[in-house]
Each structure stands twice: as C-alpha cells, then as structure tokens.
Chains A and B, each alone.
Chain A
Amino acid sequence: MKTLTVQEAHGMLKKIANEWINHEEQLGEIDRKIGDGDHGIGMANGARAILQNVTETDEKNLANLFKQAGMAMMESMGGASGVIFSALFLGVAKAAKKQEVLTVEVLASGMENAVKEIKQRGKAAVGDKTMLDALVPASEALSADHSRDFVSALAIAREKAAEGVEQTKRYPAKHGRSKFLGERAIGFQDAGATSVALMCQAMYDYVKEEEK
C-alpha cells in the first residue's frame, strides 16, 4: 500500500480519533501523576470534534480534509494541547496542498512541518518531556525512506514513537504545568507523547487492516 485516497485518509483520521477516545481514562491517569489530569478529556474532546466536524463533504480535497481535522481540534480543545495537536494535522494539510492522494512522502513532510511549528510555538526541544519526544523520532523514521509502503513506514514510526514515550520517563519536565515539578517528574511518562504514540499506532493499525 503506497497511497491512501482521500476517503482512506478520512478513515485513518477516524481511527486516530477513536484511539484517543478509547484511551481517555488512561491518558487522564498518566497526566494526573505529573500534570493536572485533564489531558484525556482534552484529547477525547478534540477527537469527538474530528468525528463530528469532518464529514464526507470534506473528502473532495486531501489538504482540506486535514485542515478541517486540525481546526476541529483547535476550536474544541483550547489549552496548549489544542494548538499543539492541531499543528499535527495542519502540518499535513500544508504538505498535502495540490496532492490527490496521501503518500508516505506527503505524510512525512507534513510531520516535518508539524515538528517545526510545534518547536517554534512551544519553544520546546527533544528531551524536554513533551509530545516532541515521540513525534520527532516518528517523523524522522517516516522521512528516512520515502520508497517504503505505508505498513512498513508506519511500523517503524509507531515503534520509534513508543520508544520516545519510554524515554520521557527519564526526563525532568521543562514545559507545561508539570514543569514546576522539575526533577520530581522523573519516572513518569509524558501524556502528550503518549497521545502521539497512540496516533502512530492507530495509523499503523489502519493501513494494516486496509491492506488485508
């Protein structure tokens, strides 16, 4: 599987949204250890807005589909997560301009856009115990080889994102509300990074099932 149609990309977005909704409790628990515990609620809100606001009428255009998903998250979530997670889909929307279908190359370039935007807006870097710790390795894995098909590209991205989540346990927090914990945050994983890993897992699951 080398390309996804707009309809298939929409199916993948729905899969991601459902993955976040299904993990609402778990994300809340992870966040409560070192944050204020509302990451699960926020992600589930954003995910429900994607399911509700992104419809078949948005399937005419690939860039528009991802833009709608990004705007749905931004407007429904608010908070830091609203801006940061909407940047993921808005980044892909930018890369998908004038593209008929989603390729590994377009997805990789979209993730690169998102990483750039999030680093700049959030003034964060890898190792700061944020979602970038999962997103950057996943993005690099996607960009490493554009010739791969979706299943093998996303298999590596998903693995790298999950490793990134594990890495966050080693870091003190430098951003967001857990920043005030500093060293006390060591030993706990970052909730935002976990949401990125869930997204990569959902994308992988989607293409794996579609391939059958």
Chain B
Amino acid sequence: MKKIMNAADTLVEDMLAGYVSAEHDRVAISKEHPRVLYKKQKKTGKVGIVSGGGSGHEPLFFGLLGENLVDSVAIGNLFAAPTPNAVLAAIKEADQGAGVICLFGNYAGDVLNFDMGVELADFEEITALNLPIADDVASADQRHQSERRGIAGDLFVLKEVAAAAAKGYSLEACYQIGLAANSRTFSLGVGIEPGTNPINGKKNFELAANEIEFGLGIHGEPGIEKMPLVSAHKLVGKMMARLLLELQDYAEQELLVCVNGLGATTMMELYIVNKEVSQLLQQAGYHVSDTVVDSICTTQEMAGFSITLHVLNEELKELYQMEAFSSCYFHKEVDQ
C-alpha cells in the first residue's frame, strides 16, 4: 500500500487539522468534541443542519460545511459512524434556537449512533430530528425504498433542506422538505477498481481484470451483478435504464443530475459519462436544471462512479436555486 500518512491512529485527526487549517476563516473544531467541526457563522432562529458519517469518503461530509449548507458535522473513525457523543456535540454546535435536523447516509451504524445522539440532545432540551438519506437503488427495490443505502444523493437532499433552513422554514417544514427530497433521489454506482483501507492496507473488494461490479456500494458492498467492462455508452445506457424506471411515477420532468467519481476516476471519464447521461435524458424528454460532475462521495482511491437523478418540484427547485457554497460545492442563484 502506498498512502501519504503519518500513522493509522492519527489518520482522522491529521486530516481534520489539515482541513481546518485550510478553511480556518469559516470552520473550526468544536471544543466539545475533537471529531466535530462547525461553521463559525451563525444565524439566530434558524434550523440547524448537522451531517456526518465515517471518515474515508472525503470531501463528504465536512466538505459541505458552508453558506446555506451544513452547520456542523460529526466525524467517525475510518468507515465507521461517529459516536453518540460526537453527534450530540454536533447538534449543540448547530443549534441556533429552532431545532436541528441531522442528515446522513442510511447505514445501520449511522442510524444507531445518530438515534442515541438525538436522545442525548433531548436531555439538553434541544429538539433534533434524524433523516437518513436512502438513494442507492441497487441496495433495495422500490417497495423498500426507505431501506436503501445513502450515497452521492446526499448532496441534493442536504442542499435543499439547508436552503429551507436558511430561508427560515420551521423544523417540521424543513423535515418535510427532507422527506420529499429524499424520496425523489435515485443513485446507482459501478465499481471498477477497489480502494485501499489506509489502516490495514486491505482492498475493499476484489474483481477480475476485466470485470466491474454493477450497483456496488461505497464501502465495497456487493451490488447487483459482476459484468465485463463495456463502453461508456453501453454502461451508462444500462445504468440509466434502471434509474429511469424509478422516475416513472413522477409527472415532473425537471431533474438535477450528479455524476460522482468514487475517488480514482478521472474528470475526463466523468465528463464522458455525463455526455451519455445528458443525451439519454434529453431523448427521454427530461430537462436538466443543474448538473454536478465531481468526486464528492468517495472511498479512497476506489475507481468507478455513480449517477444520481433528483426529481424537482416547484418548491424543491426554488430551494435548490438558492446560492450556496462550501469548500467542495458551489451553486450560484440564477433566474430561470
């Protein structure tokens, strides 16, 4: 294994120190918990937005700390959910007097720890609600949508809930926005090369030379099937066929698209993917309001990508349009 690091036991702390040094004018480490970062700027009476999860998926989750985005994050060990105390500290940092929403990927560990964190916050008289994001269509069928894993679709759900909070929506209204946004977010990924766990040097899955995993999860969880590597045109065609099935129930034709790299896949490849995605959506009669092509939800140097489609309605569209920026994401308000 070749990794630039000091030691396994300082991996997360070293990374956080480096991030905060780079963003020190906007972001700081909580005095309540060393694994909690928060945005310095506060606005009294606004619903607080917490996110978080295991380390190793950078720039998620701290990369979304920012203006009209996330207020604080709870960060776990490598690929492990943050602890209940970290979640509690993040909730306290995000609390601006109107309650707090915690948004995180729908994994057993995250749900368990965020649930306990919210219970602890209740003792301190802070109302917090959990909203696990479940967008990976490969992980469960439509009837079990709420059981799906959370992957790159986190971005759009977080963006819209955070915009609602910034516009002064109540806790309950923000939560309803979150539920709607989450239910309208669909992602599908493929893995073509494994990533390496920097602590033990092990690859997170195994594939033969010309083989890829269709529907792979971001921790290397097996997907729908192993298949040979085919052209971008054929591969994206197969992925979009699956994703478009999920869109059938919606009358709206306006979408957000995210083509997310899993760590080692180049921007060149991601744009090639996006060419195929946008052509297929155009052919299918959809209008794409905004496209994000970047590596936001990664797993070390794992190669592959995911496609996320998010179906807008009038309210979500208005929320998405609100200006927002962080170290890894920028959206400028435009008149459409």
Chain B residue contacts of A83, Cβ below 8 A: 84, 109, 112-113, 116
B80 in contact (CB, < 8 A): yes
Question: For residue B200, which residues in chain A have a CB less than 8 angstroms away from its CB?
Answer: 28, 37-38, 41
Asked whether A74 is an interface residue with its Cβ less than 8 Å from the other chain, the reply is yes
B76 at the interface (CB under 8 A from A): yes
Closest 3 CB pairs of A and B: A79-B80, A80-B109, A79-B109
Query: Is A114 interfacial (CB-CB < 8 Å)?
Result: no
Query: Which of B78, B80, B197, B202 has the most CB atoms of chain A within a 10 A radius of its CB?
Result: B80
Q: Are B107 and A177 in contact (CB under 8 A)?
A: yes
Within 8 A of B (CB), among A155-196: 175-181, 184
CB distance from A49 to the nearest CB of B (A): 11
Across-interface contacts of A184 in B (CB, < 8 A): 222
Count of chain A residues near B, Cβ 8 A: 28
**Residue contact B80 to A177, C-beta cutoff 8 Å:** no
| Distance (whole angstroms) from the CB of B285 to the closest CB of chain A | 32
- Taking the closest CB of chain A, its distance from the CB of B30, in whole angstroms, is 15
How many angstroms from the CA of A79 to the CA of B116 in the assembled complex?
12
- The answer to the question of B219 belonging to the interface, with a C-beta cut-off of 8 Å to chain A, is yes
Contacts beyond the supplied A41-B78, A177-B221, A184-B222: 15 A-B pairs with Cβ under 8 Å: A28-B200, A36-B220, A38-B200, A41-B199, A78-B81, A79-B76, A79-B80, A80-B107, A80-B109, A82-B80, A82-B109, A83-B84, A121-B112, A176-B109, A177-B108
A-contact 0/1 string along B196-219, CB 8 Å cutoff: 010110101000000000000101
Name the CB-closest residue of A to B75: A78
Task: Please state if A36 and B84 are interface contacts (CB–CB under 8 Å).
Answer: no
Which residues on the B side are within 8 Å of A121 (C-beta)? 112, 115-116
Q: Are B108 and A37 in contact (CB under 8 A)?
A: no
B:84-120 near A, CB below 8 Å: 84-86, 107-109, 112-113, 115-116
20 A-B pairs, CB-CB below 8 angstroms?
A: A28-B202, A36-B204, A36-B221, A37-B197, A37-B204, A38-B80, A38-B197, A38-B200, A75-B85, A77-B80, A79-B77, A79-B80, A79-B113, A82-B80, A82-B81, A82-B113, A83-B112, A121-B116, A177-B107, A180-B138
Interface residues of B in 160-197 (CB under 8 A from A): 197
Q: Mark B66-84, 1 if CB is under 8 A from A, else 0.
A: 0000000000111111111
Any B CB within 8 A of the CB of A42:
yes
* Neighbouring A residues of B199 by C-beta, 8 Å: 38, 41
**Contact-size category for B:** 20 to 34
Residues of the A chain whose Cβ atoms lie less than 8 Å from the Cβ of B79: 36, 38, 79
Which residues from chain B contact A78 at a C-beta distance below 8 Å?
54, 76-77, 80-83, 86, 109, 113
User: Chain A, 11-46, contact with B by CB distance < 8 Å: what is the 0/1 string?
Assistant: 000000000000000001000100011100110010
Complexed CA–CA distance, A177 and B108 (Å): 8
CB contact under 8 A between A79 and B81, given known A41-B199, A176-B108? yes
- Nearest residue in A to B33 (C-beta to C-beta)? A75
For the complex formed, measure the closest distance between the CB of B102 and the CB atoms of chain A, giving whole angstroms: 15
Assess whether A7 is interfacial by the CB under 8 Å rule.
Answer: no
A84 to B84, CA, bound (A): 12
Across the interface, which residues of B come within 8 angstroms of A45, CB to CB?
77
Return chain B residues, CB-CB under 8 Å to A28.
200, 202
Kindly state the separation between the CA atoms of A80 and B76 in the bound complex, as whole angstroms. Answer: 11
Q: Specify which chain A residues have a CB less than 8 angstroms from the CB of B308 in the assembled complex.
A: none
Nearest Cβ in chain B — how far from A36, in angstroms?
4
Mask of B118-156 contacts with A, CB within 8 angstroms, 1/0: 000000000000000000001110000000010000000
Q: Which A residues touch B107, using CB under 8 A? A: 80, 177
Asked whether A177 lies within 8 Å of B202 as measured between CB atoms, the reply is no
Alpha-carbon separation in the docked complex, A178 to B108 (Å): 11
- The interface residues of chain A lying within 8 Å CB-to-CB of B202 are 28, 32, 37
Which among A32, A82, A184 has the greatest number of chain B C-beta atoms within 10 A?
A: A82
Asked if A64 CB lies within 8 Å of chain B CBs, one says: no
Chain B residues in 8 Å Cβ range of A36 = 79, 204, 219-221
Give, as a whole number of angstroms, the nearest-CB distance from B12 to chain A. 10
A180, B85: Cβ atoms under 8 Å? no
Find out whether the CB atom of A82 lies under 8 angstroms from the CB atom of B83: yes
Please tell me if A81 contacts chain B, counting CB pairs below 8 Å. yes
Task: Contact check, B109 vs A81: say whether CB atoms are below 8 A apart.
Answer: yes
**With A28-B202, A83-B113 as contacts: A75 and B83 at CB distance below 8 Å:** yes
Residues from chain B with a CB closer than 8 A to the CB of A179 are 108
B207 CB to nearest A CB, Å = 14
Interface hits, A45-102 → B, CB 8 Å:
45, 74-75, 77-84
- Do residues B112 and A84 form an inter-chain contact, with CB atoms below 8 A? yes
Shortest beta-carbon distance, A188 to chain B, in Å?
A: 12
